[in-house]
Amino acid sequence: MTAAAPPLLKMTGITKSFPGVKALDGVQLEVDRQEIHALLGENGAGKSTLLKILAGAQSPDQGEILFDGKPVTLANPHAAQQLGIVTIYQEFTLAPDMSIAENVFIGREPGRWPFVSWARMAAETEKLTRRIGLERNPMTLVRNLSVAEQQMVEIARALSMDSRVIIMDEPTSALSLAEVEKLFKIVRRLKDEGISIIFVTHRLEEVMEVCDRYTVLRDGRNVGAGSVSDITIDGIIRLMVGREVNALFAQREAAEPGPVALEVKRLTRLRTAQDPHATEIRDVSLHVRRGEILGIAGLVGAGRTETARAIFGADPFDSGEVFVDGAPVTIRTPRDAIAHGIGLVPEDRKLQALFLSQAIRTNVSVAALDRIGRFGIFIDEAKERGLVEEYRKLLNIRMAGPEQAVGNLSGGNQQKVVLARWLALRPKVLIVDEPTRGIDVGAKVEVHNLLFEMARSGIAVIAISSELPEVLSVADRIVTMREGHVTGEMMRADATQEKLMAMMTLGTTSRAA
Amino acid sequence: MAEVKQGAADSGSVDLFGFLARFAPLIFLVVLMAVFAVLEPRFMSSINLFNVMRQVSITGLLAIGMTFVILTAGIDLSVGSLLAFAGLVAAAVAKGGMQDRFTVGEGGVGYGWELAALAAIAIGIAGGLVQGFSITRLKVPPFVVTLGGMSVFRGAALLFAAGGPISGFEHDFTWWGQGKIGPVPVPVIIFLVCGLLAHIVLRYTRYGRQIYAVGGNPEAARLSGLNVTAIICSVYVIMGFFAGLGSFVLAARLNSAEAVAGTGYELTVIASVVIGGTSLFGGVGTIFGTIIGSILIGVLLNGLVLMNVSSYIQQIIIGVIIVLAVAFDTFAKSRRRKV
């Protein structure tokens, strides 16, 4: 590679408007050969639009795209793929009931038309998956793969198209730490083989670890670009948010916790024949006090979400006891849990919490209809609006009005709507599962402050997070889990990322006072 | 902040689209009536218009029930069959048995219209309950359960009728289908009153709100503490209630109940609901829309009849319209998704 060679991909002056909003305004992006390039920005900064233009899914209003020094138009996804630009989306596009090989070669099956050569397809797939370290029979159904393995199938598919640029949109958000390390290894190997990677992520530590250069967007404009070695995480955050965020996350003064609000003893949920891939939990015992935030840390598959869902009655459990305020309770359904003052903010707000096409108003009130009732069966809409307004102020939800469809809000504001729904119930215990997944840095801090506020008001909070810095800044006390077991417990003051990681991965049952 | 601006702008354009989507059926209805009025002067006569409304009222009652079902992303194909069966039972009760099929029962022979109506509604509710139970407990998709129900209730009706209609009721009975209050036919009043009640239930009650929630996102509804199973079961009971009520009014209007009554109603009824803007994906729709949709279909059929268009062609038109309405709904949904 000589210094004179043009960059592999150069986008300049990219502008794209949608009705009422300029998503991109004169954006440029330059990606070299054999480079891992981080594309960064808060939600709504314009990353997705830029990615869609690169994938050929949208055309820019203005601007120039040079690929290999030659101007190109990416009129449609096929044109982009022909050039070797392949996008791996956050939500995979695999067909779960087809084999690895079929997914890799979907639409491009080898063989003499109209027949498919299964032997060749399998052999070529195996070559590709070996290359990235996926040791699986090419005829395995994708349904039976882990999320990380499915991602590798996506990568294999990209490689099968002779890609020169692979765009990865939030590739690590659903991976455990070990899987992330493995992905980074693959990404580095691809780079050595001459492929450039555009890496979109919210996790800035990952940028520092694996990326060569970065481009930061804010409000549809370039606000910074350069070499990763010349910048710190705080520096990137400053660029992304355009303001100082003191450390990544806020800390809080640990308060004196009250009496035990919720205790579970020996909670166990085993696999069933209907659901052979379910994550098991075995003999999980934990408690949380009023005014306390209990963090649950663990890798993907450790059973954190399953524990939360079992406590909440969302999934049945086989054995174990649940006590609320010291009294044993029977919880078989979410209704039972709610009746006992337990709330759950589930990990996937779009699928499990929100009614996306419905108004913010009805989304907030759905669980608290008896609080705004009239004569038992009717809804008092004045009270309902009052409720929404109360929580809009309290949680600082930025919205056009209570009748706006909740699907139009940003991720952070959507999450606040879900929190409002539970706060409206005045819960004793609130379990929040990945409370800041997929929301931008500024909103994360706001959500954390809300959790602190809840604890201060006497709610017992259980916070589950895959991000250790988040657990460390939010929780007063931290329980770690691994493979369905509780493996340790620590006060925040004693905990470090390293110690927690050890308990999450090694399964030592160390108990710090 | 930029994201606020974006949200506001988006909601503005959605509102325009939403406005059009909401009033499209009404606009279409007005245009259609204007066209028929020009092409066929008899169409706008008050006799004809009341006639249209009287015909609409039966399928309209069913469409009100169907709106509840479709709001939960369900479907009920059994309405026509259930209506036939419930109507025959009502007729038999009104006549005091199966012996005296064709003559008007003289005083004291039958059990009266009150019991007849109750019997029809009870049969409807029972039929709906069984289907709702099969859907929620046996976890059979609504399409399959009610496709089965369509056959079961039709068979039951044929068996019950033993091949012939039951006709000739007392005046008290037929008044519910043929009578008028002032110039307004009684079935029309029943239809509109039921529509108003259903509107109040869906719009202003907790139960109504829960139906929209279950239809919009059943998992989110469950995790919000709603009794999803009971709510889904209940909409089939409501559908059954309206099938029973409709059967009574139909028998009264025709002064006869027969086993082939209501054949093909499921299509007309589902078309009415979907044209009225209720989404087959659940969670979106109004009774107001359903009433407009029902009238729209009624006007269309009536206008075509007046213009001597063959009933075969009418079937084709209804079929095409239902597909177009769903295509529009799918488009509207993708539109909602995008923003």
Are A358 and B212 inside 8 Å of each other by CB? Answer: yes
Search chain B and give the residue with CA nearest A356: B216
Alpha helices for B72-141 (secondary structure H): 79-95, 112-136
Chain B interface includes A12 (CB < 8 A): no
* A380: nearest Cα among A396, A397, A368, A392: A368
- For position B327, what pLDDT does the model report? 85
- Residues A318-345: what's their mean pLDDT? 95
Under CATH, which number does the domain B21-32+45-338 receive?
A: 1.10.3470
- Full residue range of the structural domain in which residue A493 is found: 260-341+427-511
Taking the C-alpha atoms of residue A200 and residue A170, their distance in angstroms, rounded to an integer, is 5
* A384: nearest Cα among A407, A367, A409, A408: A367
- Per the structure block, which two tokens stand in for B251? 């028998």
Residues of A in contact with B6 (CB under 8 A): 20-21, 44
Distance from CA of A506 to the nearest CA of B (A): 34
Q: How many CA atoms lie within 13 A of B7 on its CB side?
A: 24
Distance from CA of A311 to the nearest CA of B (A): 12
Residues of B in contact with A370 (CB under 8 A): 206
Q: Domain ends where: A174, A206, A241?
A: A241
Structure-model confidence comparison of residues A292 and A496, the more confident one:
A292
Chain B interface includes A355 (CB < 8 A): yes
Candidates A365, A379, A401; nearest CB to B204? A379
Distance from CA of B5 to the nearest CA of A (A): 8
Q: Degrees (nearest 5) of the Cα angle B108, B113, B115? A: 90
Residues of A in contact with B212 (CB under 8 A): 355, 358, 362
- For position B4, what pLDDT does the model report? 38
- For position A1, what pLDDT does the model report? 46
Examine the domain organization and report whether A226 and A265 are in the same domain.
no
Whether A372 maps to a domain, the answer reads: no
Search chain A and give the residue with CA nearest B207: A377
Residue A433 confidence (pLDDT) above 90: yes
A243, A296, A341, A382, B138 from A331: Cα distances, Å: 46, 21, 11, 33, 23
Examine the domain organization and report whether A189 and A52 are in the same domain.
yes
Are A407 and B216 inside 8 Å of each other by CB? Answer: no
Whether A414 maps to a domain, the answer reads: no
- For position B18, what pLDDT does the model report? 65
- For position A273, what pLDDT does the model report? 65
Are B217 and A367 inside 8 Å of each other by CB? Answer: no
- Residues A155-180: what's their mean pLDDT? 86
Chain B interface includes A338 (CB < 8 A): yes
- Residues A167-172: what's their mean pLDDT? 87
Are B7 and A399 inside 8 Å of each other by CB? Answer: yes
Examine the domain organization and report whether A237 and A267 are in the same domain.
no
Confidence of residue A407 (pLDDT cuts 50, 70, 90): confident
Residues of B in contact with A405 (CB under 8 A): 11, 14, 336, 339
- For position B237, what pLDDT does the model report? 98
**ipTM summary value:** 0.82
Whether A218 maps to a domain, the answer reads: yes
DSSP letters for A40-58: E--TTSSHHHHHHHHHTSS
Are A354 and B11 inside 8 Å of each other by CB? Answer: no
Candidates B1, B226, B336; nearest CB to A407? B336
| Per-residue DSSP letter, A280 | P
Read off the pLDDT of residues A445-490 as tens digits, 9 standing for 90 and up. Answer: 889 999 999 999 999 999 998 878 888 889 999 999 988 899 999 9
Q: Domain ends where: A209, A241, A273?
A: A241
Whether A458 maps to a domain, the answer reads: yes
- For position A111, what pLDDT does the model report? 85
Residues of A in contact with B206 (CB under 8 A): 369-370, 373, 377-379
Examine the domain organization and report whether A210 and A70 are in the same domain.
yes
Chain B interface includes A346 (CB < 8 A): yes
Residue B218 confidence (pLDDT) above 80: yes
Taking the C-alpha atoms of residue B218 and residue B121, their distance in angstroms, rounded to an integer, is 29
- For position A470, what pLDDT does the model report? 87
A25, A87, A222, A486, B3 from A217: Cα distances, Å: 10, 19, 5, 41, 14
Examine the domain organization and report whether A201 and A236 are in the same domain.
yes
Confidence of residue B10 (pLDDT cuts 50, 70, 90): very low
Chain B interface includes A223 (CB < 8 A): no
Range in B15-19, B41-45, B133-137 the model is least confident about: B15-19
3-class secondary structure per residue, A101-159: HHHHCCCCCCCCCCCCCHHHHHHHHHHHHHHCCCCCCCCCEHHHCCHHHHHHHHHHHHH
Read off the pLDDT of residues B254-271 as tens digits, 9 standing for 90 and up. Answer: 999 999 999 989 999 999
- For position B102, what pLDDT does the model report? 60
- Per the structure block, which two tokens stand in for A382? 């004045």
Structure-model confidence comparison of residues A107 and B246, the more confident one:
B246
Chain A interface includes B264 (CB < 8 A): no
Examine the domain organization and report whether A184 and A329 are in the same domain.
no
Are B339 and A44 inside 8 Å of each other by CB? Answer: no
Examine the domain organization and report whether A308 and A336 are in the same domain.
yes
Examine the domain organization and report whether A230 and A272 are in the same domain.
no
Distance, CA of B134 to chain centre = 21
Taking the C-alpha atoms of residue A176 and residue A301, their distance in angstroms, rounded to an integer, is 8
* B317: nearest Cα among B300, B330, B331, B303: B300
- Residues B290-315: what's their mean pLDDT? 91
Are A404 and B219 inside 8 Å of each other by CB? Answer: no
Candidates B7, B213, B227; nearest CB to A404? B7
| CATH number of the domain that residue A457 is part of | 3.40.50.300
Residue B108 confidence (pLDDT) above 80: no
Whether A361 maps to a domain, the answer reads: no
Residues of A in contact with B2 (CB under 8 A): 21, 44, 219-220
User: What's the pTM value of the predicted model, to 2 decimals?
Assistant: 0.78
Q: Degrees (nearest 5) of the Cα angle B18, B21, B26? A: 130
Domain count, chain A: 2
- For position A195, what pLDDT does the model report? 94
Examine the domain organization and report whether A139 and A69 are in the same domain.
yes
Read off the pLDDT of residues A97-134 as tens digits, 9 standing for 90 and up. Answer: 899 999 999 888 888 878 888 999 999 999 999 988 88
Residues of B in contact with A400 (CB under 8 A): 4, 7-8, 11
Read off the pLDDT of residues B144-160 as tens digits, 9 standing for 90 and up. Answer: 999 999 999 999 999 99
Distance from CA of A52 to the nearest CA of B (A): 13
Residue B48 confidence (pLDDT) above 50: yes
Confidence of residue B336 (pLDDT cuts 50, 70, 90): low
A96, A137, A145, B199, B280 from A141: Cα distances, Å: 7, 9, 7, 48, 32
Confidence of residue B11 (pLDDT cuts 50, 70, 90): very low
Q: Domain ends where: A241, A270, A296?
A: A241
Whether A214 maps to a domain, the answer reads: yes
Residue A244 confidence (pLDDT) above 60: no
Read off the pLDDT of residues A291-310 as tens digits, 9 standing for 90 and up. Answer: 999 999 987 678 899 999 99
Taking the C-alpha atoms of residue B144 and residue B134, their distance in angstroms, rounded to an integer, is 10
Are B227 and A337 inside 8 Å of each other by CB? Answer: no
Residues of B in contact with A312 (CB under 8 A): 223
Say if CB B262 and CB B78 are below 8 A apart: no
Taking the C-alpha atoms of residue B276 and residue B295, their distance in angstroms, rounded to an integer, is 10
Could you list the beta-strand ranges (E) of B101-236.
166-167, 180-181, 184-185
Question: What region, left, alpha or beta, does residue B167 occupy, with left being phi > 0 and alpha being psi -120 to 50 degrees?
Answer: beta
Examine the domain organization and report whether A315 and A460 are in the same domain.
yes
Q: Where are the domains of chain B?
A: 21-32+45-338
- For position B9, what pLDDT does the model report? 38
- For position A400, what pLDDT does the model report? 84
Distance, CA of B136 to chain centre = 22
- Testing the interface with A: which of B5, B197, B217 to mutate, by most A Cβ within 10 A? B217
Chain A interface includes B227 (CB < 8 A): yes
Examine the domain organization and report whether A221 and A333 are in the same domain.
no
DSSP letters for A173-195: TT--HHHHHHHHHHHHHHHHTT-
Chain A from 383 to 442: CB within 8 A of any B CB: 398-401, 404-405, 407-410, 413, 421
Residue A269 confidence (pLDDT) above 70: yes
- For position A254, what pLDDT does the model report? 64
Candidates A335, A373, A400; nearest CB to B225? A335
Structure-model confidence comparison of residues A290 and A279, the more confident one:
A290
- The CA-based dihedral angle spanning residues A503, A505, A507, A508, taken in that order and rounded to the nearest 10 degrees: -40
A294, A317, A503 from A268: Cα distances, Å: 20, 6, 20
Examine the domain organization and report whether A39 and A155 are in the same domain.
yes
Mean pLDDT for all residues in chain A:
87
Confidence of residue B2 (pLDDT cuts 50, 70, 90): very low
- For position A31, what pLDDT does the model report? 94
- For position B12, what pLDDT does the model report? 44
- Residues A245-255: what's their mean pLDDT? 57
Instruction: List, in order, residues 6 or more apart from B34 with CB less than 8 Å away.
Output: none
Q: Is the N-terminal amide bond of A114 cis, ω within 30° of 0?
A: yes
Whether A46 maps to a domain, the answer reads: yes
- For position A277, what pLDDT does the model report? 60
- Residues B264-290: what's their mean pLDDT? 92
DSSP letters for A46-97: SHHHHHHHHHTSS--SEEEEEETTEE----SHHHHHHHTEEEE-SS----TT
Whether A2 maps to a domain, the answer reads: no
